[in-house]
A and B are shown apart, each in its own frame.
Chain A
Amino acid sequence: MSVASLSDLSAAPPTEKLPPVRGYWASVGNRLRYDYLTIFFLSVIAIIVVLAILAPLIAPFDPTKSHMAYRLKPPGFRNFMLGTDELGRDMLSRLLWGGRTSLLMGIFPVLLATLVGGSLGVAAGFMGGRTNTFIMRTMDVVFAFPSVLLAVAISGTLGGGAKNGMLALTLVFIPSICRVAESATTQVRGLDFVEAARASGGSTLSIVRTHILGNVLGPVFIFASSLISVSILLGSGLSFLGLGVEPPTPDWGLMLSTLRAGIYTQPLLCALPGAAIFITSLSFNLVSDGLRQAMDVKA
C-alpha cells in the first residue's frame, strides 16, 4: 500500500492528456476569434476611430470655412465629395471632424461614470448595511429621472457646451453602472470562496482586490460597453437640441439639427450625419453584444 498510495491518491490517472491551461480572458478572446459579426463591427469602429483621429490630415477642407456661393449642394458637387451644408461648408470634412466630438461624447462620459459608479457600487455591495442603503437610495433618486430628461435638465440649467454635456451624461450613467456593480458585488460576496478568503484572515481591501474585482469587472465592463452607444445617441441628441457642442464646432447631432431646414431641397444631406450616428451606435451595440456572449463562459 505504501508504494501504491500516492498513485491511488492521484485524482487523475497519469495517462490522461490535459488541454492547455487557459485563463478566463484568454478563452474569451478565443471565442471572439470565431465571432465574425463582432469582428466585422469591431473593425468598423476601428475605421471610424482612425478616421476621426486622422481628420486634420485627411479632411479636404477646413470644416468651419463657409463657401457662401455653394450652399446645400448635393454630393459630388465640384470638389465637395459629399456636398455642402446650409452655410456652404464641406460635408465630408465636417463629418470627419464631427466624429471626433461624437466619439468623445460617447466614450469619455462612460469611462468616467464606470470609474465613479463602479467604485461606489463595489463599495456599497461589499460593505452592505448602512453604507449600501445610503449609496443605493441616493442612486435611486437620480434613477428616478428618465435619462434623456436628466441629461436635458442638467445641461439645460447649467447651460450648453461640450463640457456640461459630458458632465450631464456622466451623471446620467453613474446610477445604472453603480447598480450593476452593486448587484454583481453582492452576488460574489455571498459565494463560498469569498467566505473562505475571510476565513483565511484576508483584509477587506485584499479580498476586494484579489477575489471581488476580477469577478465584478466582467459584468460592469459588458454593461459599460453597451452604454457607449447610448452615450453617442444622447450626446448627439443634446447637440441636436442646442445643448451640446456649440457652433461652429462640427458635431453630427448639431449638423443634423441645422440641416433639418434643408430637408425639402436636399434630403440626402440631412441623412448623412444621422447615418453616421446610426452606424457608430449600431457598431458599438453589436460589439457589446458579441462581448457579452463571449464573456458568458460558465466557470
Chain B
Amino acid sequence: MVYDTHALAAPPSPASTGTPLVEVRDLSVEFVSRESTTRAVNGVSFSLAPGEVLCIIGESGSGKSVTMRALMKLHPAKHTRISGYMRVADHEVSAHSEREMRDIRGSHISMIFQEPMTSLDPVYRIGDQIAETVVHHKKCSRADGYARALELLKLVGVPSPERRLKAYPHELSGGLRQRAMIAVALSCSPTLLLADEPTTALDATVQIQVLVLLRRLQQELGMAVIFVTHDLSVAAQIADKVAVMYAGRIVEYGSVADVLQHPAHPYTQGMLASTVSGHMRGQIIEAIPGSPPDMRVRIEGCSFVPRCKSVKPACRRGTPALVDVLQGHQAACANFV
C-alpha cells in the first residue's frame, strides 16, 4: 500500500484570501406534519474555505444529510421550515427563491448521492443525463453537451467512454454508475460539491477507487467539498475539517487529525471506541449505550445526556455551545465550559 503523507499539508489554496466560500449560521430545519414536528437540524453553524474538504460525520438521523440538502434548498417547501443564514460564494442561499436556486444548483453547487442505481434516471442514457445538465446551464447546443459529456466520462476514469455515453444506468456496474453520477455533478465545474455518503453502497475494493478519484478531482479542480458520512475512516481519508453531528447539532468541530486522534466530546470518543478493529479481539467493545433520541421530542439540556458516561448537573440545564478546546478545535460539552 502506498501512503501519501504529504496529502495533509496540501491545500493552502485560495483559503488564504480570508473570506470563506461557504458560511452557515444558526441553520435549523424542521419537518412539519399533522402528527408531529421533527426538529432535524437545530442551530448549525460552520464555514468552509475554497478548496477545503469538510466531512460531516454522524449516525442515521443525526441531521447530516438534512443540513446538506438545506444548503441546496432541496427539501419540499410544503412540509419544511428552514431558518438561519446560508451563503455560498456570493449567493445568499437563504434569501434565494426557488427560481434563483435553479441557476445555482448543478452549476455552482452540485451534489452526488448514495445510491447510484436509484439516483440516475433509468430510462435516459448516461450521455443524455450529463449533456442535459450542460445544455441547461451553459445554454449550449446538444452536440456541445455531448462533447462535454464524453470529456467528463474520460475525466472520471470510465473505460471506453464513447460506448458508455449510449448506455442506460442498469447496463453499468455499481462503480461505473457512481463515476457517471460524479460526471453529472462535475459537468459545470462547481465551486462546491456536496457528497451524500457516495461510497457507502459500494464494495470495499470499489469504495477506495471512488474515494481516491474524488480526492484527485477535488485537488485538480480546486473544489470545496462537503462530504457526509457515518464512517470515521472514510473521513480520515478525505477530510481537511470534520464536524461531528448528534441529534441535529454539531457537537465537535476541528481539523481531521485533531478530532479523530484527540476527540474531545464524549460522543466522538464513544464513536471511536465502538469502531471495531482487529486488535480488540476477545475484549468487550466500549459501546455507547442506548440509542439516539427521538427527534420529535424536544429535549431540555444536552441531548447526549441519556447515553453519556460523564454527566454533570450543568448538562441538564441548557444546551452547551461550541467552545474552543484548543485553537481551531471546538466541542459542545459542559465539561469544557
Contact = CB atoms under 8 A, between A and B. Distances in A.
Contacts of B287: 8
B318 interface: no
Interface stretch (A12-20, A109-117, A202-210): A12-20
Interface string B280-313: 0000100101110000000000000011000000
A11 interface: yes
Contacts of B306: 13, 15-16
Interface in A33-67: 34
- For chain A, which range describes its interface: under 10, 10 to 19, 20 to 34, or 35 or more residues? 10 to 19
B291 A12 contact: yes
A1, A11, A12, A13: most-surrounded residue (chain B CB, <10 A): A13
Given A13-B306, A16-B306, A7 B289 contact: yes
Nearest to A15: B306
Nearest to B288: A8
Prevailing SS type, chain A contact patch: loop
Given A15-B306, A16-B306, A10 B289 contact: yes
A10 B284 contact: no
Nearest to A17: B297
Contacts of A7: 289
B290 A11 contact: yes
B284 A12 contact: no
A7 B306 CA distance: 12
Contacts of A10: 289-290
A95 B190 CA distance: 70
A247 B41 CA distance: 70
B326 to A, nearest CB: 31
Nearest to A7: B289
B34, B284, B290, B307: most-surrounded residue (chain A CB, <10 A): B290
A7 B291 CA distance: 13
B34, B287, B306: most-surrounded residue (chain A CB, <10 A): B306
B38 to A, nearest CB: 15
Given A7-B289, A8-B289, A13 B307 contact: yes
Nearest to A16: B306
B284 A1 contact: yes
A1 B285 CA distance: 12
A13 B307 CA distance: 8
Contacts of A13: 289-290, 306-307
A11 B291 contact: yes
Contacts of A1: 284
A95 to B, nearest CB: 40
A7 B288 CA distance: 11
A94 B291 CA distance: 65
Interface of B: 34, 284, 287, 289-291, 306-307
The 3 closest A-B pairs by CB, nearest first: A13-B306, A13-B290, A8-B289
9 contacts: A1-B284, A7-B289, A10-B290, A11-B290, A12-B291, A13-B290, A13-B307, A16-B290, A16-B306
